[in-house]
Chains A and B, each alone.
Chain A
Amino acid sequence: MPSITSPILLQVRRLGVATLIAAFALGSAFAQRVEVEFWHGLTQPLGGLLEEFAADFNASQDQYHVEASFRGTYPDTMVAAIAAFRAGNAPHIVQMFEVGTATLMHAGGAVKPVYELFEETGVDFDPDIYIPAIKGYYSLPDGRMVSMPFNSSTAIMWVNNDALREAGLDPETTPLETWDQVRAVAKEVVDSGAAPCGFSMAWPTWTQFEQFSAIHDVPLATRANGMEGLDAELMINSELHVRHVQTLLDMQAEGSFTYGGRDSNADALFPSGECAILHGSSGLRARVVREAEFDWSTHMLPYYDDVPNAPLNSIIGGASFWVMTAPDRTDAEYAAVAEFFNFISTIENARRWHVESGFLPIRFGVFEELEAEGFYEENPGADIPYLQLTRAEPTENSRGLRLGNMPEIRNIIQEEFELAIQGQQTAQQALDNAVQRGNVVLRAFERANR
């Protein structure tokens, strides 16, 4: 092979080497960034907002890179994460809905609790920045936090003011605080023909059993709603629960309550104007703002005023972020996760998330700041979820739930409730059956996780 002697060729060779060196340097700069996989279960537009947080984190520093990707609905994301863990390549962070909390909390070595993450990485983190109803839901009984709160919602009552007016009621002065009042208004609306459906609810188990129990300070299950042990048993066949289901059955009989289906199916009934009153997620707000062609308002969930201690705070829904382990995970990767969590928990980012997405302001300071700036006067009713969630010091019954296989328990309660609505069983029978079947599920979970 002839050696290169021509000056031009030499020049070319030097250039080539320089490019090569530059390419290597660039490559190693990229390689230095620690990659973090983040799976979430939020559909658009919320998913996009969440991904913006990851992008902003990536732009804010040059050590870490968080790759946020949508993996289907919450249950889909959960199953995907579990399958990935079994295959040895779980994502670093996975977003999980609140009812998956117990499943992940008992996942042993599959999950790294966030208190452990912050201890090991030395990143400063104070769990007391979160409001108690949120902190309690994601913490062990001794207060150590196991997952990172982010998008929290709660159940509230949506009211169609125009329908009330058409029924001859003044929405400004008509009280809607107790079940008697709500029932009377719903009946008036239907009887006057102002709306075909007076009252309905989305997420029947969540709004009528989980929230209901917390607000009335009655247990949903023993062992502090499962927070203190796997041997918890359901307690939803109490006198008060039976009374409530009976109220709903009576309302259905008189025409003031129309069942709208499982999970989020009934969401559509409110913005369409079909139902004048709906119990649903506070997260419905964006849709109501966009779709409702009538004057509406938000209220706190009603209660029975003869129950002692009622009304307490409601409990949360939504999701939190969990750190998962894998055989080849490095300390640098955990450090990256800790830094990302630190980034999303700043007051600026908590505020931005609340304002943009409509989820709750999860840490202290955000609500006060926005209130002082007049945000809630410009957005009436946006403060109701927060006020309801913080209106009392959480008790054992209103701190949250930690029941294994909660998605299945929700389904069982929905099923038995539906059978009562169809007239195939009484309120007492429905709840006895739900307790009996739910306990079987709890025992199976206890056994598999022992």
Chain B
Amino acid sequence: MKRRTIYRHKLLPYLLLAPQLAVTLVFFFWPAGQAIYQSVLIQDPFGLRTQFVWLENFQIVLTNPVYLESVRVTIIFSTAVTLLAMAPALLLAVMADQVVRGASGYRTLIVWPYAIAPAVAAVLWLFIFHPSIGQIGQGLRTLGIPWDYRINGDQALLLVIFVSAWKQVSYNFLFFLAGLQSMPKTILEAASIDGASPRRRFWMIVFPLLSPTTFFLLVVNIIYAFFDTFGVIHALTQGGPGRSTTTMMYRVYRDGVINLDLGGSSAQSVILMTAVIILTVVQFKYIERRVHY
């Protein structure tokens, strides 16, 4: 049977929804509409000369090998960031869940990085990994490892992945911990009595029961890796060296803000938007089926 909340006034629910709808319209739908409109135009930066070009901007973007390279970088980057942000968070959450004394202290410490702005986080890690002024950077070089993310593309990508993931661990940790703490203790106790080892209890009971949280975080982390990592990349590598850390998002900025190619940049935004929508729909359609609520 369906539960239904009955409002006496027809207007009230809409009134209650209005603020959220207004925010969504002004800050999401309007800019998205602008991007779609701009993506079919070729225009000088000042908006003085405008040509309507149908889908030519998309054709230019999608046939550009440099753009396709940024798609490849984005796939590697987002996959790595999502895995690296979620696995350690789960491990930390499981361990923090077992801590009895000083639990809130641990939790607070682990949550700290989330409060740091991406650009600040990037600068912090720059001071650690910079090959000439960073402690670890210098250390690696004295050990004979040619560490220099300014000229080594793989190292640069590794560094931005690491910093981006590190920033997100806290967020994931909080959700995992909340998930663990709301776990029904009776099932776990029953399993213990049946002689299941802690490892087995985790994989057979805790992990499946945690799957709604894991699923939610998967979606959030992929969106984070796509859209929220601009600050880290901008502060650490500016997309370089070469194009090794230029993600699709960074490319949008480069082409739109530095290059002032509004049409091409908008076309890329639209592509990015479509990609994330498809990804989210796929996740909901297929992965959600395997999630236990």
Contacts and interface: CB of A to CB of B under 8 A. Distances in A.
Interface string B4-45: 000000000000000000000000000000000000001111
A86 B46 contact: yes
Contact of A447 (B42, B45, B132, B243): B42
B242 A448 contact: no
Contacts of B263: 448
A110 interface: yes
B46 A422 contact: no
Contact of B259 (A260, A265, A407): A407
Interface stretch (A147-155, A205-213, A330-338, A410-418): A410-418
B257 A437 contact: no
A274 B151 contact: no
A2 interface: no
A414 B132 contact: no
B151 A107 contact: no
Contact of B258 (A86, A109, A408): A408
Contacts of B150: 259-261, 265
Nearest to B131: A258
A449 B49 contact: yes
Nearest to B132: A274
> Main SS of the interface on chain A?
helix
Interface in A226-240: none
A450 B46 contact: no
A408 B48 contact: no
Contacts of B133: 268, 272
A75 B255 CA distance: 13
> Main SS of the interface on chain B?
loop
A138 B142 CA distance: 49
Interface string A85-120: 110000000000000000100111110000000000
Given A82-B45, A109-B48, A262 B243 contact: no
B258 A415 contact: no
B254 interface: yes
A441 interface: yes
B124 to A, nearest CB: 17
Contact of B46 (A85, A268, A272): A85
Interface string B230-272: 0000000010111100000000001101111101100000000
B242 A422 contact: yes
A140 B101 CA distance: 75
Nearest to A197: B132
A285 B49 CA distance: 42
B53 to A, nearest CB: 10
Interface residues of B, number: 29
A110 B238 CA distance: 30
Interface string A191-203: 0000010000000
B240 A107 contact: no
A103 B45 contact: yes
A268 B126 CA distance: 14
Given A107-B48, A415-B243, A259 B151 contact: yes
A398 to B, nearest CB: 26
Interface in A407-433: 407-408, 411, 414-416, 418-419, 421-422, 424
A202 B260 CA distance: 24
A103 B48 contact: no
A103 B240 contact: no
B153 interface: yes
Contacts of B152: 422
Nearest to B256: A79
B144 to A, nearest CB: 14
Interface in B28-80: 42-49, 66
Nearest to B246: A415
A137 B243 CA distance: 31
A418 B240 contact: yes
Contacts of B44: 106-107, 448-449
B242 A405 contact: no
A107 B46 contact: yes
A34 interface: no
A444 interface: yes
A358 B240 CA distance: 31
Which range contains the number of A residues in contact with the other chain?
A: 35 or more
A131 interface: no
A310 interface: no
Interface in A25-40: none
Contacts of B46: 82, 85-86, 107-108, 110
Contacts of A407: 258-259
A411 to B, nearest CB: 7
A370 interface: no
Nearest to A447: B42
Contact of A405 (B42, B47, B240, B259): B259
A82 B151 contact: no
Contacts of A75: 257-258
Given A82-B45, A269-B132, A450-B49, A422 B241 contact: yes
A415 B42 contact: no
A416 B229 CA distance: 24
A415 B132 contact: no
A418 B154 CA distance: 13
Nearest to B141: A196
Contacts of B238: 262-263
Nearest to B264: A444
Contact of A448 (B42, B132, B153, B241): B42
Contacts of A85: 46-47
Interface in A265-302: 265, 268-269, 272, 274
User: A82, A85, A86, A274 — which one has the most chain B CB atoms within 10 A of its CB?
Assistant: A82
B258 A411 contact: yes
B197 to A, nearest CB: 48
Can you list the 7 inter-chain pairs with the closest CB atoms, starting with the nearest?
A418-B241, A408-B259, A419-B242, A110-B46, A261-B150, A448-B44, A418-B242
16 contacts: A75-B258, A82-B45, A82-B260, A86-B46, A86-B47, A103-B260, A107-B45, A110-B46, A261-B150, A262-B238, A408-B255, A419-B242, A422-B153, A448-B42, A449-B44, A449-B49
Given A107-B48, A265-B150, 16 more contacts: A107-B44, A108-B48, A108-B49, A110-B48, A268-B133, A408-B254, A408-B259, A411-B258, A416-B242, A421-B151, A422-B152, A422-B153, A422-B242, A444-B261, A448-B43, A448-B263
Interface of A: 75, 79, 82, 85-86, 103, 106-110, 196, 259-263, 265, 268-269, 272, 274, 405, 407-408, 411, 414-416, 418-419, 421-422, 424, 437, 441, 444, 447-450
Interface of B: 42-49, 66, 132-133, 150-153, 238, 240-243, 254-255, 257-261, 263-264
